[in-house]
Amino acid sequence: MKVITARSKFKHFPSFPFSSSSTTLSAIPKPSLIRIPFDHPIPQTLFQLLKQRPQLPQLKQIHGRVFTVALSSHSSLTTSLINCYLSLKDLNSARTLFDGYPSSLAPTLVWNLMIRAYSKLHNSQESISLFSQMLASSFPDNYTFTFVLTSCSHQISSLHGEIFHGLVVKNGLESNLFVGNAAINMYAVFARTGDARKVFDHMSERDAFTWTSLLRGYAKRGEINKACELFDEMPLRNEVSWAVMISGFVGCDRNIEALGCFHDMLYEGKVKPNEAILVSVLSACAHLGALDQGKWVHKYIDATAISLTNNIVTALIDMYAKCGKIDRANQVFCRIPKRDVFNYTSMINGLSIHGRGKDAVQVFSQMLMENVMPNGITILGLLNGCSHSGLVEEGSSVFLRMESSWGITPKIEHYGCYIDLLGRAGHLEKAYEVIRSMPMQPDIVIWRSLLSACKIHRDVKLGEQIARHIELLDHNGHTEGKVLLSNLNASLGKWERVAELRHLIGEKRNQCSPGHSWIEVNGVINEFRVADRSHPRIAQIREKLGEVLKRAQLGGYISNTSQVSFDLSEEDKEQAVTNHSEKLAVAFGLMSTEPGTSIRIVKNLRTCDDCHSAMKAISKVYNRELIIRDRSRFHTFKEGACSCNDYW
């Protein structure tokens, strides 16, 4: 039988991997050329070839053959070609065929193929545009609505989603499983949990995706209690639903509950943790400073041979760094065969919060040598490290080169770090000039940073100017500028000015977040608040704290009450600073751990002068290493000194 080869006519196409040894399609599994027998119907032959989902070079050959033998008007072949191109993610070729579809009215199936393809592209408007065109010529089915609602979840607002959901209801498709799932997911993305719940309640059939989508909506909106209720009702919980629940707890800063949820999942034994779960759990350990639990998670990863993806490695570096084990974080970092920007950023941030600015600068230089480009977060961490280490020259160089060297436009956060760097080092006027020359309006955080620097360097005159700027920004009656300025004057003993300011504050006094501290003992997280009375052993802890502070006086501790309200007696002032949460946590640690072991504490606020002085003395008289992470950095107290060298 005479055959004709594709290679003889289309030399610009590579050879097609089909055998020429047989004239029947069932017997041509893997030849090197396309051979189309003349006694076979050509369309059927091409259909069979397209069913085998050829790779792109071979698909181009078949496409060329369709046009060569004048089959371009064959709508079924065109549909198959579109499907093949889409399976290979060649959207442009598929769209060209779609736009020239042989029939004036493309079938719903073809519209669905194109709408689905565009729906997978983030922020793509094209699927919505195609759907609008489709309504003029074809009738959408449940698949169409599923794909277009999925696309709506990638938009910047829920407007189109609401309109198309109205069409779903009008066409009686709301109870369809896939359409309902797409609608719930769309509303959940925009945290429209009320609308998502209405769709959920209307559905007669639900699957794991249905429940998990609504769960994600509650978690995203911060309605964690509703998420808990729904999670408890779920008939089947998979790894995705567990991941959503655990990350939801972390997102709401309920990290202890996140770890509890993780342990419940392991105890239930039906689901193994995936990457998303492990990253969230390690993040919870990092926030709490729960080193023992973080180390256990690391051992679990190694024991179960879970792949150390870059996301997991980055989370491990962050966990060890924030739990006070920066050297262990560095070990993990050094074992990465090919480091990316996230690995480097995590390591730089870790070094920065430990006050090791010079090491952070060195790692950054290594990053550039390996041609890994930094991002905005990398620069933010590096500037933070320079600020905590007094590296004014290095930090200034990085800030001024951001845009020219790495194409990163400084944001307000970068300006804030740079101003903090200058202010801490005593360059108050220069910092003030930077604020005045910023391309954006400075926020209250930046002014507060410079006002804190004025307090450190005892510059009341500039502090008064800054306080006025803060008052202009303060629209909520919090009078934050007056509170901060009051503290500055209190530190200098200017009680008349303090009285004036606190009279102006009156009943609108700024309500600061209460101090919280966490300490992990034997794998259990213990939480303390300022003047806490809720801990089951609080009586013993207070008794121990009194003993600790008396002994600390032998190490040079003198209670610093300069910033406590002037209208209290000296005894009441001392009592006010005694009850700070980290002091309670240290007392608990001393009575609950073996002598000589390190004590690790995490605090949500900045450590005050009195607590800083107390911790230095306690570390000396008890011969203990105290590692305290406050809102901005680590303080490692050892033998009566702090790693920050009193520069914080």
> Does residue 159 have a pLDDT over 70?
yes
CB < 8 Å & 24+ apart, contacts of 58-61: 58/14, 58/16, 58/17, 58/34, 59/84, 59/85, 59/88, 60/13, 61/6, 61/10, 61/13, 61/14, 61/16, 61/34
Q: What's the average model confidence in pLDDT over 487-516?
A: 61
Does residue 211 register a pLDDT over 60?
A: yes
Q: How confident is the model at residue 630 (pLDDT cuts 50, 70, 90)?
A: confident
Q: What is the pLDDT of residue 384?
A: 93
Give 395's contacts (C-beta < 8 A, 6+ positions apart): 382, 383, 386, 387, 417, 418, 421
Per-residue confidence band for 20, with pLDDT thresholds at 50, 70 and 90: very low
Say what the pLDDT of residue 29 is.
Answer: 39
Confidence of residue 453 (pLDDT cuts 50, 70, 90): confident
Q: How confident is the model at residue 38 (pLDDT cuts 50, 70, 90)?
A: very low
What pLDDT is attached to residue 49?
A: 72
The pLDDT mean for the chain works out to: 82
Contact by Cβ (8 Å): 486, 456: no
Mean per-residue pLDDT, 456-475: 74
Least trusted range by pLDDT, from 71-75, 515-519, 562-566, 580-584: 562-566
- Residue 85 — pLDDT band, cuts 50, 70, 90? confident
Which token pair is 276? 């998303």
Please give the average per-residue pLDDT across 589-601, as a whole number.
92
Give CA 462 to chain center in angstroms: 37
- Specify the range with the lowest mean pLDDT, choosing from 161-175, 344-358, 391-405, 572-586: 572-586
- Provide the pLDDT for residue 576: 55
Would you say 434 and 419 are in contact if contact means Cβ atoms under 8 Å apart?
yes
The label of the residue with tokens 């079938």 reads 107
Query: Are 589 and 581 within 8 A, CB to CB?
Result: no
How confident is residue 631, by pLDDT bands cut at 50, 70 and 90?
Answer: confident
Mean pLDDT of 86-97: 86
Higher model confidence: residue 19 or residue 187?
187
Residue among 512, 513, 517 nearest 603 (CA): 517
Mean pLDDT across 512-525? 81
- pLDDT of residue 7 exceeding 70, the answer is no
Cα 242 from Cα 576, distance rounded (Å): 43
Tens digit of pLDDT for each residue in 137-151?
Answer: 888 899 999 999 999
Nearest-CA neighbor of 172 among 140, 133, 209?
A: 140
Q: How confident is the model at residue 574 (pLDDT cuts 50, 70, 90)?
A: very low
**Domains of the chain, residue spans:** 519-642
The pLDDT assigned to 561 comes to 55
pLDDT in tens, 604-620: 888 888 888 999 999 99
Rounded Cα distance, 294 and 636, in Å: 20
Task: Give the per-residue pLDDT at 101.
Answer: 82
Q: What pLDDT score does 106 carry?
A: 81
The C-alpha atoms of residue 253 and residue 170 are separated, in whole angstroms, by 41
Asked if residue 31 has pLDDT above 70, the reply is no
CB 255: neighbour CB atoms within 10 A?
Answer: 24
Q: Which residue has the higher pLDDT, 36 or 366?
A: 366
Q: What is the pLDDT of residue 314?
A: 96
pLDDT average, residue stretch 267-292: 93
Instruction: Give me the percent of the chain exceeding a pLDDT of 90.
Output: 46
**4 secondary structure, DSSP code:** E
Bridge partner residues of 642 (DSSP): 637
CA angle 584/527/581 to nearest 5° reads 30
pTM greater than the 0.95 cutoff = no
More confident residue, 520 or 485: 520
pLDDT of residue 157: 84
Residue 5: pLDDT band with limits 50, 70, 90: very low
Contact 279, 286 (CB under 8 A): no
What is the model's pLDDT at position 474? 58
User: How large is the average pLDDT for residues 220-236?
Assistant: 93
Closest CA to 145 of 128, 120, 168: 168
Over range 371-387, report the average pLDDT: 95
